[in-house]
C-alpha cells in the first residue's frame, strides 16, 4: 500500500469478529498490528476470555459478545443477529472481517442489513457436511443466505472452496483462497535442541479429538514400540509425545481416563498444554498430525517453520503444507498401519536427512505462508472493496 492510500485509511474503522478472543490474539495479532500501522482503528468483537485484555493492551477496542459456538437454539441465534446489528450500528465500521462459523453466518446477516462491507474467512467445514440430517440442511441454508452478503469469502484450501461452490452455498466469483492465518517465521524458527542423538521424539500437537487422528497416533506408537532396531542397525530410543487440551463437550473428545490408560501402558507421554509451544516443538525430531481434515494446519506450519520434518494425513489442509518425500511423509487418513509405516521411514533416515527435510519445509513456509503474505492479501482486499464502494 502506497503512502497516498495509507493516508486514506486514517480514521477508518475495521471490526474483527470471532467466537473467541483467543483466536484473534493467537492467529491474527500480526494482522491487527499491520492494520494499526496503516492507520486503522481496530475493534474486536468476541466473547471475553483470558486473551481479551491482551488485545486491549495492544490498543484494540474490545467488545464482549456472548456467542455459544455449540448452541443450536434458533431463538438464541436470532438474538445474536440482533446483538451484532446493535454493535455494528453503534460502531459504524467501514469494513468487517468475520471469522468462525457463527460470526460468518449471523454477523454477515447483520452486516447485510446495515449494508456494511464484509469479508468472511471459512477456516474449516464444521459439522454440516458430515451428515445429511435436518440440522445439516439448516446449516447449509443459513450459509447460503449469509454468504450472499460478503464481498469476498476466503477459504484455506481448494477442497473446501470447491465444496462450498459446488454445493451452491457461495458464488464462485467471490470465493478465493488465502494461505491460512500466516506464520511469524521469526517466532517459529530453528532452535538448538539438547535431544540425545540416540533418541527420536515424535510429537503430536492438536486438540484431543478423535478426528485429529490421536487414536491412530497411539496405535502406531504401540506398533513401533518404545525401542526399535532401525535398518541401519542402530538401537534408538523412540518417544511418542502428545501436547493438547481436552475438549469434554465435543462428541469426538478423548477422555482423561483414556489418556491416563495410554500413559500407564507406556505407549505415550502426555505433556499437557503449554503457553510456549515453540519450546515444545524445538525438542521434537518429527511432528505428526494424522488428522481427518483441516482448513490449513497451523501446527504443521509452525513445525515446518521451525525446521522440523512432518508426517501428516493426505487430506485437505495437510497436503498443502507437506510435500511427500520433500519435507516429510504423507500417510493415509484413519490408517494406523500406514502411519506406523511412515514413522518407520522417518526413523530410517539419518539425522542429516531429517534436517534436510526440515530446511525444505521452512523454505516452503517462508515462500507461501509467511504472515506478511497473508496480511497483505487482507489489506489489499479491504482497500479494493472500499474503492469499489466509492464509485
Cβ neighbors of 100 (< 8 A, separation 6 or more) are: 18, 19, 20, 23, 69, 123
Nearest C-alpha neighbor of 270 from the set 248, 242, 247, 244: 242
Confidence of residue 226 (pLDDT cuts 50, 70, 90): low
Nearest C-alpha neighbor of 390 from the set 94, 120, 15, 91: 94
- DSSP helix/strand/coil, 99: strand
Residue 120's Cβ-count burial label (10 Å; 0-12, 13-18, 19+) is buried
| The predicted structure's pLDDT at residue 160 | 92
- Top-confidence residue, 139 or 240: 240
- Is it the case that residue 8 has pLDDT exceeding 60? no
- Top-confidence residue, 30 or 137: 30
Residue 258's Cβ-count burial label (10 Å; 0-12, 13-18, 19+) is middle
Residue 289's Cβ-count burial label (10 Å; 0-12, 13-18, 19+) is buried
CA distance 12 to 384: 14
The class (CATH top level) of 199-368 is alpha beta
- Is it the case that residue 129 has pLDDT exceeding 90? no
Nearest C-alpha neighbor of 354 from the set 283, 290, 305, 286: 286
CA distance 246 to 214: 12
Radius of gyration of the chain (CA): 22
| The predicted structure's pLDDT at residue 11 | 78
| The predicted structure's pLDDT at residue 41 | 97
The class (CATH top level) of 3-182+370-390 is alpha beta
- Is it the case that residue 55 has pLDDT exceeding 80? yes
* Averaged pLDDT of the chain: 90
- Mean pLDDT of the region 154-163: 93
Confidence of residue 273 (pLDDT cuts 50, 70, 90): very high
| The predicted structure's pLDDT at residue 138 | 80
82-86, 96-100, 249-253, 372-376: the lowest-pLDDT one: 249-253
- Is it the case that residue 361 has pLDDT exceeding 90? yes
| The predicted structure's pLDDT at residue 237 | 85
Confidence of residue 1 (pLDDT cuts 50, 70, 90): very low
Residue 79 C-alpha cell reads as 438474538
CA distance 124 to 155: 8
As a residue count, the chain comes to 391
- Mean pLDDT of the region 105-113: 97
Dihedral sign for Cα atoms in the order 293, 276, 195, 185: positive
- Mean pLDDT of the region 236-241: 89
Contact 50, 67 (CB under 8 A): no
- Mean pLDDT of the region 199-205: 94
DSSP 255: P
Give the H/E segment covering residue 222. helix 214-224
- Is it the case that residue 72 has pLDDT exceeding 90? no
Residue 114 C-alpha cell reads as 446495515
- Mean pLDDT of the region 298-327: 96
Domain boundaries, the chain: 3-182+370-390, 199-368
Backbone angles phi, psi at 169, to 5 degrees: -90, -20
| The predicted structure's pLDDT at residue 74 | 79
**CA quadruple 367, 373, 377, 383: dihedral, nearest 10:** -140
| The predicted structure's pLDDT at residue 287 | 98
Give the H/E segment covering residue 331. strand 328-331
19-23, 73-77, 106-110, 364-368: the lowest-pLDDT one: 73-77
- Mean pLDDT of the region 255-264: 96
Contacts within 8 Å (CB) and 24+ apart, 53-61:
54/21, 54/25, 55/21, 55/24, 55/25, 55/29, 58/29, 58/32, 58/33, 60/32
pLDDT digits 0-9 by tens, 10-52: 679 999 999 999 999 989 999 999 999 999 999 999 999 999 9
- Whether 3-182+370-390 shares its CATH topology with 199-368 is answered yes
| The predicted structure's pLDDT at residue 125 | 76
Amino acid at each position: 500500500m502506497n503512502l497516498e492510500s495509507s493516508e486514506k485509511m486514517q480514521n477508518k474503522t475495521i471490526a474483527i469478529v470471532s467466537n473467541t478472543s483467543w483466536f484473534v490474539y493467537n492467529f491474527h495479532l500480526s494482522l491487527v498490528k499491520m492494520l494499526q500501522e496503516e492507520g486503522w482503528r481496530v475493534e474486536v468483537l468476541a466473547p471475553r476470555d483470558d486473551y481479551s485484555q491482551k488485545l486491549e493492551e495492544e490498543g484494540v477496542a474490545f467488545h464482549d459478545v456472548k456467542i455459544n459456538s455449540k448452541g443450536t437454539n434458533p431463538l438464541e441465534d436470532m438474538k445474536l443477529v440482533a446483538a451484532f446489528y446493535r454493535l455494528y450500528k453503534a460502531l459504524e465500521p467501514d469494513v468487517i472481517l468475520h471469522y468462525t462459523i457463527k460470526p460468518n453466518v449471523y454477523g454477515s446477516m447483520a452486516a447485510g442489513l446495515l449494508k456494511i462491507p464484509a469479508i468472511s474467512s471459512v477456516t474449516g467445514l464444521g459439522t454440516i457436511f458430515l451428515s445429511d440430517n435436518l440440522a445439516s440442511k439448516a446449516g447449509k441454508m443459513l450459509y447460503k443466505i449469509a454468504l450472499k452478503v460478503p464481498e469476498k469469502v476466503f477459504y484455506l484450501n481448494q477442497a473446501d472452496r470447491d465444496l462450498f461452490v459446488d454445493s451452491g452455498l457461495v458464488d464462485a466469483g467471490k470465493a478465493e483462497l488465502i494461505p491460512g492465518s500466516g506464520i511469524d517465521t521469526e517466532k517459529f524458527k530453528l532452535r538448538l535442541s539438547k535431544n540425545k542423538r540416540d533418541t527420536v521424539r515424535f510429537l503430536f500437537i492438536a486438540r484431543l479429538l478423535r478426528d485429529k487422528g490421536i487414536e491412530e497416533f497411539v496405535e502406531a506408537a504401540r506398533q513401533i514400540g518404545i525401542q526399535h532396531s532401525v535398518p541401519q542397525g542402530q538401537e534408538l530410543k523412540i518417544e511418542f509425545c502428545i501436547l493438547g487440551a481436552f475438549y469434554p463437550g465435543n462428541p469426538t473428545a478423548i477422555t482423561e481416563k483414556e489418556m491416563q490408560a495410554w500413559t500407564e501402558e507406556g505407549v505415550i507421554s502426555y505433556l499437557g498444554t503449554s503457553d510456549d509451544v515453540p519450546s515444545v516443538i524445538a525438542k521434537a525430531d518429527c511432528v505428526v498430525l494424522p488428522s481427518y481434515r483441516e482448513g490449513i494446519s497451523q501446527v504443521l506450519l509452525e513445525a515446518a517453520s521451525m525446521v522440523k520434518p512432518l508426517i501428516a494425513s493426505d487430506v485437505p489442509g495437510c497436503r498443502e503444507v507437506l510435500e511427500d518425500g520433500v519435507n516429510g511423509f504423507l500417510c493415509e487418513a484413519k490408517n494406523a498401519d500406514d502411519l506406523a509405516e511412515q514413522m518407520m521411514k522417518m526413523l530410517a533416515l539419518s539425522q542429516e536427512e531429517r534436517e534436510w527435510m526440515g530446511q525444505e519445509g521452512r523454505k516452503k513456509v517462508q515462500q507461501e505462508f509467511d504472515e506478511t503474505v497473508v496480511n497483505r492479501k487482507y489489506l489489499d482486499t479491504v482497500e479494493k472493496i472500499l474503492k469499489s464502494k466509492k464509485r
